Structure 1
Amino acid sequence: MQRPFFLSSLLAGSLLVLSAAPAHAQYRDLCDSSKVCEYTGPNAPVLDADVCLDPTGTVRLKGSAGCSHAEIPFHARFGEVYEPLQQLVVAYIPLQSACTVPGLCEAKEEYSPNTGTAQALCCINGVCWPGIDGCQGTLMWCDDGVCNEDGTVTCFEGTALP
């Protein structure tokens, strides 16, 4: 009668697999379903922590006490604590740099501080516009760009703004 041994082995194996899963596996990613995350460049800081989202859009570290009844738990892969006493978090969505796509960036002959803007872009067929609302193309990040008279953005290679 091997059946009881098989079932107990199966149960023990299942518990081992479940206990080995990371704690954050039980929460959805905050930036997959929320508009409280900020777009940023490809080098976003890794937070990799469970967080609580309240009804006003405030995000804080979950901590050992857990989320209050009015908050929803999520996991934030990218972000940073900006208010340590209250454990407030800004969560990020890292975007691919536009300069990694051939033809989207131009060489900047001379760097002048504070002349460009780091921003999220919406790019369609090699042309990029500022902003993300209603983007039907690809969201990209530009570390150093300027807006042109026609509303498009020229992104420059080689210089990441601080």
Structure 2
Amino acid sequence: MRHGGGMGLFNIERGAEAIEIAIVRLSHAIEMTDEQTVLLEALKTDALAAAAAFEAATDGLRPTPPAEGESAERPDISERFDNRIALESARLDALKAVQPAFTAFFDSLTDEQKADLVPERGNRHDHMSKQGDRGGHRDGHHGGQRPMGPGNR
């Protein structure tokens, strides 16, 4: 599973369809016990309810593209800031609503099941070193760029 082994799995902002897809993928990624299946169903129910609540709470807070032939009316900066706070508050409320079921399900998984949810990744350092060597860069970084640091901004 991508997105931090579950944390991005329930991106409430993406809506009910994305949650349904995530649940199906999760159910196929690991072999679950009957108890875990019940916990996953509870998580699905809570996540779908949270997505609906988020959608209702944020309706109209995001700018919408203007209709053809019309100019975009952009809210002033203080209204955009207020909208941002409202969006973040709604996002936090949705996460809090899902947290008990999320925790119950993921805490029920064995270490082996959790490992099955983490994507396999190669050693990034080795990959970067090989590319630096192939590219002939003395400092081992792409394009000869120096790493970010206090004196390299």
Q: What TM-score results when the alignment is normalised by the length of structure 1?
A: 0.21
Q: Which has the higher strand share?
A: 1
* Bigger relative contact order (CA 8 A; separation at least 6): 2
Q: Which has the higher helix share?
A: 2
Q: What TM-score results when the alignment is normalised by the length of structure 2?
A: 0.22
